[in-house]
Structure 1
Amino acid sequence: MKPALQFRLHQQLTLTPQLQLAIRLLQLSQLELEAELRQLAEGNPLLEFADESEDETAADEAAPETDYLQVPGPAEAAADRSVDGDDVAEWADDGGGSVETPIDFSNGSGNSGATRGDEDFEPQNVAPETLQQHLLWQLNLAGFNPRQTAIATVLIDALNADGYLADGIEAVRTALPANLAADLDEIEAVRRQLQGFDPLGVASLDLRDCLHSQLEQFDAATPQRGLALAIVDGELELLARNDIAKLARKLRASEDEVAAAAALIRSLDPRPGAALDSTPVEYVAPDVYAVRDGGRWQVRLNPDAQPRLGLNQHYCNLIARARGDDASWMKGQLQEARWLLKSLESRAETLLKVAGAIVRRQSAFLDYGPEAMHPLVLREVAEEVGMHESTISRVTTRKYLHTPRGTFELKYFFSSGVSTEDGGSASATAIQAMLRKLIEAEDPRKPLSDQALAEELKGRGIQVARRTVAKYREGLRIPSSSERQRIV
């Protein structure tokens, strides 16, 4: 008996290569997009960047003409869009070393580099000197014997970015060469010599050790040096609370003397290695601008952030004369290039559309600041612009909006809501801004507890539990009320 034939109808979503490319480009940051496009252009002779063409033109006036993509492409109005506009169609929907005590130090330092003034030379970025390099240079001049030098080299290698020996002396002994059998006392002696190198206090084991070593470098006649050493060695917790009266009683000194000793301690550097941190500073270029024009907030793409990629017309003209496999290959490259340019146009239009929806929802933030931030979730923007939530998530990740109040990642404008007495809601960002303002205005002698802060917010119509206040406060890196207390 033959099996009966059965027919079933079902739907299946298939991601075409074009759609996969568009989705991949959408989630890339500005720098990642540039790198991706450079790589794609290297493998496709029909793609060319504007800067490459300009270089060729400077060398050869007869360079082939190139048609460049002016993002966002044919939709000219999309380059300057009022937040009230909604005429852009969606292009894709994919469906689916520790410090024990929080003492407030204000001491800091930085390095500045010199730039040559000769007009015949381009300014060059000099690689910054690392903490290890700075210490090794001093080690070569310190007059250590070979054995001490070997131990000091391992110690310097083990320092973290703040200049602390976070793993302890035992770890250093383990890392020493097998033929160099050194005991802990010998390593400790070398470590203490390193603490006198610049910056003072490096190679310390903890905060107390770091501050103590710096105070020891002061002249013995320095006013209140002895009292400062006593505070560092045994009373850092009281110093963190600025309890001058209790410190004076315990150390049998006047409050003026204790205050002077505390000022001396706060002039020290608790992170001596940070001044030589060689981590390069990262600068963020905004993808979109929010500007006020005619009483309304508008969004505009940053033209400098859009890649000027185009078709090389010279190679396009060669396709008509190509034959056989060459013609087939070049037509395929041309098709891929057009898909890429179309994907870039769609990426720009989608970014502009989503940014416009966000600015429209958060115009109060632009006018009045963080306290006026409204609750906003991905679903609300997705429904407004007619896209899937996952698409909104991709387009708001590592994309930045420049506003008169600063430059923010688009994700910054999304936050959950907390109920208010009038039946509305306030965003978590707005509540955090209120908490910060309340704490800044509090009496340092009687700081507000988390429960008191919750009551203050309740008086403003915001119903929030004490544990929620504690969570927001910790998110702002604000100490508890007992740690904020200052007795003056």
Structure 2
Amino acid sequence: MVQLIHEMRAKQQTTLTPRLQQSVKLLQMSTLDFSREVAEAIANNPFLDDEEGLSTEERVADTPRHLAEQAQQPDALLSEIPASPSTADSADFDQVVQADYDASAEFSSGYSGDYPTTRHPDQPETDIGQWARSETSLQDSLRKDLFSYPLSERDLCLTEVIIEALDSDGYLRTPFDELIKPGQLEPMPSISEWETALQLIQHLGTAGIGARNLQECLSLQLTALPEQTEGRQLALRIVENALERLGRCDYSGLARSLKAEESEIHQACDLIRSLEPRPGARFSSVDPSCYVIPDVYVRKVGHLWVATANDSAIPRARINTVYAQLFRQSRYDERPLMAQALQEARWLMRSLEQRSHTITRVAQAIVARQQTFFDYGDVALRPMMLSEIAEELGMHESTVSRATSNKYLASPQGIFEFKYFFSRELATHSGGTCSAVAVRALIQEMIENEDPAEPLSDVMLAQRLAQEGVQVARRTVSKYRAQIKFPPAEQRRRPAAA
């Protein structure tokens, strides 16, 4: 049996010609990877060129038709190229993908963002990625503030070591005795020296930077507030002595232990909640890959939402007709290599068209089934499976999966990955179904509208969902509540305002 499976997989592998391998690979790529792949092909293949030389009218032409015309342009010249020995090249793309579904793992690539880089390598960078990289880091900001302090070389060294040891939240989580190795600085710094250097850093820039734990971080921020701030002193006492009670929302216990009125406790706790537990987060560098360029736009036309391709996200390429003409006239030994390069250029052009066409078709099918979502949001998202789209479009499910991975659409509701719209179904009392995303949206709406003094328990949320006709178990409610980052009812409880 094992041998039979290996033989079947080997046969499946042989059905994938280089052109179909390329189509599968390009289809599942993110926009960033796809743009890089095309740019690399243009740089390495003399028969490919970008569209720098095209007129404005040609640039705004409909992209799929434009690519199709370019793909057909060199066909007359290809008549002199020997035909490929494989007949599978003319096979249906989706049928071959279906046969190679299990063997396609070698072409998979992890998500690396969707910000396209179609700019020519020798052109200056003036895109949003350059702006992202120019942001000031936490360490650079602290070093800039240190310039105004006349520090000795030793003190400057100690502060630099601490600054480098701060994590992305702005905390110093490394003990003093582990900051440097024995012998790196003589004599070895004392605890008081480390404390002095740390206190200097804690007074630079944003309050809370350089804290060693949450308690110290909150205390530093409260201390930095004006003394006349209402609730400041009581808030300091809560942070220093009863932070755990605050986490449990035990307001009556806080009032008893600190001998204060519950209204005062409520005011102090609100002040604490207004603080920043991760003061270094605002300095976190922005990865350019987090910028998403949508593959399609969703707009309302009449009474219907429709999806159209984002042509600006598609890398532009064309067959270089000058080199193609030279190839036709050549009679040299390098002719076979040139023929291969021209064939690869032709394959790429057709793969560009195939990829754009497939992604657009899948997006249109998704939008057609999720009309209510674009009108009303998450609560109206209907359950949908990959197999439904595959059956509707006459594709294999693996093709739809590749076409939805790391692909995005932009709509008035926001920017969403295609896969966001595929959600499992839950039963309703009426015999219909609703999506898990819709149930999470209903739970969030219920919690946001609850009475803070009497928050809804998971059991009560399940009962409210049942009243809406949605059958959900309590443990499922608990899971969904945690997914949308709401704590249990007891931790959401807040005393009524006086």
TM-score (norm 1): 0.81
**Distance apart, 1:290 and its partner CA:** 2.1
Task: Give the 3-state SS of the residue equivalent to 2:159 in structure 1.
Answer: helix
Native 8 Å contact 2:231 2:264 kept in 1: yes
Q: Alpha-carbon deviation of 1:70? A: 2.9
Letter in 1 for 2:391: E
**C-alpha separation between the residues in 2 aligned to 1:45 and 1:75?**
20
The alpha carbon displacement at 1:222 in A equals 5.4
Is the counterpart of residue 156 in structure 1 residue 163 in structure 2? yes
**Counterpart for residue 351 of structure 1:** 359
Query: Residues 201 and 211 of structure 1 are in contact (CA less than 8 Å); yes or no, is this contact kept in structure 2?
Result: yes
Residues 31-46 of structure 1 correspond to what in structure 2 (within 5 A)?
31-46=32-47
- For 1:12 and 1:278, the matched residues in 2 are separated by 48
1:8-23 matches, within 5 Å, as 12-13=11-12, 14-23=15-24
Aligned counterpart, 1:200 = 207
Identify the residue that residue 460 of structure 2 maps to in structure 1: 452
1:94-150 Cα shifts (integer Å, max 9, x gaps): 121xxxxxxxxxxxxxxxxxxxxxxxxx89848222111111223343233333322
Distance 2:251 2:65 in 1: 63
Equivalence for 2:281: 274
* Change in 2 beyond 3 A, CA 1:175/1:338: farther
State the SS of the aligned residue for 1:401.
strand
> What is the aligned partner in structure 2 of residue 50 from structure 1?
51
Q: How far apart are 1:168 and its partner, in Å?
A: 3.6
- Identify the residue that residue 298 of structure 1 maps to in structure 2: 306
> 1:432 touches 1:473 (CA, 8 Å); kept in 2?
yes
Superposed counterparts of 1:385-404, under 5 Å: 385-404=393-412
Task: Kindly report which structure 2 residues correspond to 1:183-332, keeping only aligned pairs within 5 A, or say none.
Answer: 183-218=190-225, 224-240=231-247, 246-255=253-262, 257-280=264-287, 282-332=290-340
Superposition pairs of residues 335-374 of structure 1, within 5 angstroms: 335-374=343-382
Contact 2:372-2:380 within 8 A present in 1 as well = yes
Per-residue Cα deviation, 1:140-167 (whole angstroms, up to 9, x for no partner):
4323333332222111101011211123
Cα distance change, pair 444–147 in 1 and its aligned pair in 2 (3 A): same
User: Which string of whole-angstrom CA distances, capped at 9 and with x for unpartnered residues, describes residues 261-291 of structure 1?
Assistant: 4454345432222232232463212111222
Counterpart-to-counterpart distance in 1, 2:301 and 2:233: 63
1:92 maps to which residue? 94
Go from structure 1 to structure 2 and tell me whether the alpha carbon gap of 1:294 and 1:138 turns closer, same or farther (over 3 Å shift): closer
Q: Which residue is equivalent to 1:70?
A: 63
1:483 and 1:271 mapped to 2: Cα distance? 20
Q: Against the structure 1 CA distance between its residues 438 and 224, is the aligned structure 2 distance closer, same or farther, given a 3 Å change threshold?
A: closer
Take 1:412 and 1:276, find their aligned partners in 2: how far apart are those partners? 30
Which of the residues 131, 140, 145 maps onto 2:138?
131
CA 175–376 in structure 1, closer or farther in 2 if over 3 Å, else same: farther
Structure 2: distance between partners of 1:224 and 1:444: 21
SS at the partner of 2:465? helix
**How far, CA to CA, are the matches of 1:69 and 1:293 in structure 2?**
19
Q: State the percentage of identical aligned residues.
A: 40
Q: Does structure 2 conserve the Cα–Cα contact (< 8 Å) formed by 1:91 and 1:350?
A: no
Q: Is the 8 A contact 1:69 1:308 kept in 2?
A: no
Matched residue SS, 1:324 = coil
Deviates more, 1:391-400 or 1:167-176: 167-176
Q: Could you tell me how far apart the structure 2 residues matched to 1:33 and 1:232 are? A: 51
2:311 and 2:176 map into 1 onto residues whose CA distance is 54
Residue among 428, 434, 451 paired with 2:442: 434
- Unaligned residue ranges in structure 2 (runs of 5+): 1-6, 70-90, 102-125
Tell me which amino acid in the other structure corresponds to 1:142: Y
**CA separation of 1:405/1:29 partners in 2, compared to 1, >3 Å: closer, same or farther?**
same
Question: 1:291 touches 1:299 (CA, 8 Å); kept in 2?
Answer: yes
**CA distance in 1: counterparts of 2:228 and 2:450, whole angstroms:** 39
The secondary structure found in structure 2 opposite 1:188 is helix
Structure 1 window deviating more from structure 2 (418-427 vs 463-472): it is 418-427
- Indicate conservation of the 8 Å contact 2:31/2:407, yes or no: yes
Which amino acid in structure 2 is aligned with residue 367 of structure 1? D
Give the total of aligned pairs.
433
Give the helix-richer structure, 1 or 2: 2
For the residues of structure 1 that align with 2:482 and 2:65, how far apart are their CA atoms? 42
Residue type of the alignment partner of 2:422: F
Q: What's 1:116 paired with?
A: none
Taking structure 2 as the reference length, what is the TM-score of the superposition? 0.79
CA positional deviation for 1:384: 1.7
1:69·1:341 contact (CA, 8 Å) conserved in 2?
no
Aligned counterparts of 2:372 and 2:136: Cα–Cα separation in 1: 45
RMSD: 3.0
Residue 378 (1) aligns with residue 379 (2) = no
Q: 8 Å contact 2:67–2:318 — kept in the other structure?
A: no
- How far apart, in 1, do the equivalents of 2:172 and 2:349 lie? 53
Q: CA deviation at 1:397?
A: 0.9
The whole-number CA distance in structure 2 between the counterparts of 1:46 and 1:410 is 34
- Paired residue secondary structure (1:50): coil
Deviations 1:293-325 (A, max 9, x none): 233332211111122210111111112211122
Mapped to 2, the partners of 1:289 and 1:218 lie a distance apart of 47
The letter of the residue matching 1:91 is F
What per-residue deviation string (whole Å, max 9, x for no partner) do you get for residues 61-116 of structure 1? xxxx99x993255779xxxxxxxxxxxx97334121xxxxxxxxxxxxxxxxxxxx
Change (3 A) 1:31 1:482: same
Quote how far apart the aligned CAs of 1:246 are: 4.4
The CA deviation at 1:176 is: 8.0
Q: Which has the higher mean CA deviation after the structures are superposed, 211-220 or 333-342?
A: 211-220
Change (3 A) 1:72 1:165: farther
Letter in structure 2 aligned against 1:291: R
Pairwise CA distance, 1:292: 2.4
